[in-house]
Structure 1
Amino acid sequence: MWYILYTLIFLHETCICITEGRYLLETKYIEVPVDHFSASPKPRFFKLRYLLNDKYHVKGGPAFVYTGNEGDISMYAQNTGFLFDIAPIFNALLVFIEHRYYGVSLPFGNDSFASSDNLRYLTTTQALADFAYTIEALRRTFFGDVLSYDTYPFVAFGGSYGGMLAAWLRMKYPYEVVGAVASSAPIFHFPGLTVGCAAFNAQITRVFRRYGGERCVRTVELGWDAVLNLSRTKLGMDFISSSWKLCKPLKTAEDVRRLLDWLGSVYENLSMFNYHYPADFVAPLPAYPVKIFCDKLTTAYFNDTKGLIDRFATALAIYTNYTGKRSCNNVNGSYEEPAEIAWSYQTCVELAMPKCSLEGDMFPTKSWSYEGHSEACYERFGVRGLGRDWPAMAYGGKNLRHYSNLVFSNGLMDPWSVGGVFSNVSSTVLAFNITDGPHHVDFRRADPADNNYVIEARRFHVRIIKQWLNMV
């Protein structure tokens, strides 16, 4: 292949050891094309970051490759302890590849988000090609003198969006990875497939009802109107800003809208990361944070709207300031962060994941249509998406029987599980459901608090991977 020369030249740049966090990894870079699919007299390349741990690797052992998510790859590496737990079993090399446009893997540097023209290379197809490109280079570096070219010692792993990519990598590049384990991968959460737009918020409501009770759900419902009613006046906005310790006080209707969007994202993250032990994935959280949030919200009575807002302030601190180190809450910050811009662009162009709310869940009633979604994308980025049916057309939709060596695992208390694969499709496309499991809990490190469902899921993964690698 024409690009092999580049990979051989640029694979081993100077590494920086990551010492913070639980796991020691080396930071490395590989030069990859900005555009894998167009010919150019002067092709442009950029540095794609990947993290590597060869502590457990023995010559002839496989490589476990984590396909990066919509964020800095080091965060996912430090929260995927399952790979470090099983690496000694397989004598495996561990590789975590960052997704283009996230972390430090920016095709146009600081200008990567400056225009829709610069963003147009942010697609799943380009990202998958990055992963395949990197695997090719790693194959020649670590396995070139050990295995024949028709032996595939690479196994893909990914959680959430990264799980979708791990599965799609096996589907699109089956000669690069022998199989893929996709945890909490909502590959059916697209228009035209089985998931309705209300399923996601309905699942969040079920999690809050399960761990916080009906009173918590109804109090959360009251909170939306409390914010809207109080924010109709400047004095009301000032009260909310003070009570909730907002870094930027509310001043406009747009500020209030962003506050409500932020509040919804807090509920989403609390339900996703409702682990049975303290964790610090997206934020430092206690064990069962949904329960603690609901206890704080409902154990004291309130007499009026301001009292309710203050109750929410106490409860929200479980998510916003569990460590007590944060002085204020930057509600608007997420809109300005590069990772948020990148993910918003992706969901506009390719990955339209419907979300709406109906009567009976704890969110305000809200509709969703692809046309409205497309219009909002055009207003923000000046581009139209690839169409509501693009993901199904590009990756097969529900026709998974045409593929092989895939495992889909889902925690049944995870909101994203509503778009997941719940039953075996064939003898080689398998599903494992984790009762009471939150978001890709099976990919986290083993913990004494793990229940039997999580333990069995990890054993299942190990057993299937051994089959793929002809170890049984």
Structure 2
Amino acid sequence: MNKAMGFLRHSFHQLLLFSLISFSCVSGTQFSIPRLGALRRTTRTEPKITSTSVSKDFKTFFYSQTLDHFNYRPESYTTFPQRYVVNSKYWSGANSSAPILVFFGAEEALDNDLSGIGFLTDNAPRFKALLVYIEHRFYGKSIPFGSREAALRNASIRGYFTSAQAIADYAAILLHIKKAFSSKNSPVIVIGGSYGGMLAAWFRLKYPHVALGALASSAPILYFDDLAPQVGYYAIVTKDFKETSEGCYETIRESWDEIDKVASKSNGLSILSMKFKTCKKLKRTFDLKDYLDSIYSEAAQYDHPPTYPLSIVCGGIDGAPKGTDILGRIFAGVVAYMGNKSCYDMNEYNHPTDETYMGWRWQTCSEMVMPIGHGNNDSMFPPAPFNLNKFIRKCKSLFGVQPQPHWVTTYYGGHDLKLILHRFASNIIFSNGLRDPYSSGGVLENISGSHCLDILPEKKSDPQWLVKQRKTEVQIIEGWLAKYYTDLLEFRDRT
């Protein structure tokens, strides 16, 4: 299917009106919340990013970060090394008050972002900007207490692992950098994708004296406190598959009952284990279903050109030899997407030793509670509504703490967000691709495309609407900077 077809498009006027906040005055129940990262896990369809693929222009530093920014107990002044990376290749210097473009790390190590996030490096020459990338606390090399095990060992220590602490970290590092580079008057534009996009938007709201503006790509800041429909995420996954291939959609929709039918046999789990070449014999159908759910949602969420993972999955399903049964076609989709392996690990997406899995599980069990579930209607998934009570019990059994599902909207806002942003915020771009499942929780959806696509590196294969979208975002930021420099000159003249 032609990927350009079926896309919802808006004019530039509509894009500016609806996506830009820049005003002149100012399983049974789902337990795992799909991760938000701007970059998807490396699979067979995309090359791995290595240290040799990162430019030598990136210089790594460590800032002695305060453990707790919000109280005065003696232990709050404990420090830990927080990683940030600077690229000054294109910066025209403090004397010209050249801008600083800052990427906010999210729920993974910073390494892949250096070459995987292209918006900063692609536009650094145009803005003559200093580039800064900051790693999120408790991820990568920015671990308090010396090791990940020590940092996550109990609820008292994990209590320092919050979004509010993270954006306070970013503020401290940016003020440090501006002092180190003698760049007092250099305006700061913060950029993030997905969870990092939420952090960028929230940073602009909480620290407007530090950041002139924010680009929040694919930031589902409305997916809290039932502000967005619980079934929105999987409704879009279903729509994406249906638009790609009706046959693929139907096969997936019918496969769940077929899995249950086979499992009901006396040796059913053994049959399923052999059909799907699982590395360990299945003990329950949930593990297989959860694995397939993760493949489908990941393929839809990160359906980037030129590979288009969703088409790879459906190509495998639809391209299975004639006469292949339903589960055989599903397995063909798995092989197409994951590669031809000797066996398939049903815990591929849920490894407790993986730092993103561990960290994100804690974050979603404490404050980042996004009620995402499967609906009915024409969903290709079996019904599985989000059950907050079960979610709370599960989190309490894992971490010994009570989730706070209302905290995000209390601390950052959410209800009547458009009105709140109009009155109290300016210079925030919210960009969402309508094929991205998380756009169901985004602010005023506007563009076609997948998760965080606009901040990924530019490619010759990029569709024209994406080129146009990026150009618009750059022009908006240029407008912010022009107004800032005018105000700066007027202020200097008065003093």
TM-score, reference length from structure 1: 0.84
* Structure ranking higher on relative contact order (CA contacts 8 Å, 6+ apart): 2
Runs of 5+ consecutive residues of structure 1 not aligned to the other structure: 1-17, 278-286, 424-432
Matches within 5 A, 1:290-439: 290-300=310-320, 307-321=325-339, 327-333=342-348, 334-336=350-352, 337-359=354-376, 360-386=378-404, 388-397=405-414, 398=417, 399-401=420-422, 402-422=424-444, 433-435=446-448, 437-439=449-451
Aligned to 1:98: 135
The amino acid that maps onto 2:421 is L
Cα deviation for residue 136 of structure 1 reads 1.1
Matched, 1:107 2:144: yes
The amino acid that maps onto 1:288 is Y
Matches within 5 A, 1:13-412: 19-24=51-56, 25-42=58-75, 43-60=77-94, 61-108=98-145, 109=147, 110-142=149-181, 144=182, 146-147=183-184, 151-193=185-227, 195-212=228-245, 214-232=246-264, 235-250=267-282, 252-253=283-284, 256-277=285-306, 287-300=307-320, 307-321=325-339, 327-333=342-348, 334-336=350-352, 337-359=354-376, 360-386=378-404, 388-397=405-414, 398=417, 399-401=420-422, 402-412=424-434
The amino acid that maps onto 1:244 is F
- Structure 2 contact 124–131 (Cα < 8 Å) conserved: yes
The amino acid that maps onto 2:430 is F
- Structure 1 contact 152–176 (Cα < 8 Å) conserved: no
Cα deviation for residue 234 of structure 1 reads 7.2
TM-score, reference length from structure 2: 0.80
Deviation by residue 1:71-98 (Cα, 9 ceiling, x = unmatched): 1111223221121110011111111111
Cα deviation for residue 243 of structure 1 reads 3.6
SS in 2 for 1:450: coil
| Structure 2 CA distance for aligned equivalents of residues 241 and 96 of structure 1 | 43
The amino acid that maps onto 1:274 is D
| Structure 2 CA distance for aligned equivalents of residues 245 and 115 of structure 1 | 37
SS in 1 for 2:93: coil
SS in 2 for 1:311: helix
The amino acid that maps onto 2:469 is A
Distance 1:121 1:243, change over 3 A: same
Deviation by residue 1:18-52 (Cα, 9 ceiling, x = unmatched): 84335443332111122111213352111111222
SS in 1 for 2:52: coil
The amino acid that maps onto 2:277 is K
Deviation by residue 1:328-359 (Cα, 9 ceiling, x = unmatched): 43322523122212111111111111112222
- Structure 2 contact 316–335 (Cα < 8 Å) conserved: no
SS in 1 for 2:53: coil
Runs of 5+ consecutive residues of structure 2 not aligned to the other structure: 1-49, 487-495
The amino acid that maps onto 1:267 is Y
- Structure 2 contact 108–355 (Cα < 8 Å) conserved: no
Aligned to 1:426: none
Cα deviation for residue 403 of structure 1 reads 0.7
**Percent of residue pairs identical:** 34
Distance 1:22 1:207, change over 3 A: farther
The amino acid that maps onto 1:416 is Y
The amino acid that maps onto 1:467 is G
| Structure 1 CA distance for aligned equivalents of residues 240 and 287 of structure 2 | 24
SS in 2 for 1:20: helix
The amino acid that maps onto 2:215 is V
Q: CA RMSD in A?
A: 2.1
- Structure 1 contact 192–389 (Cα < 8 Å) conserved: no
Stretch of structure 1 that moved more, 178-187 or 455-464: 455-464
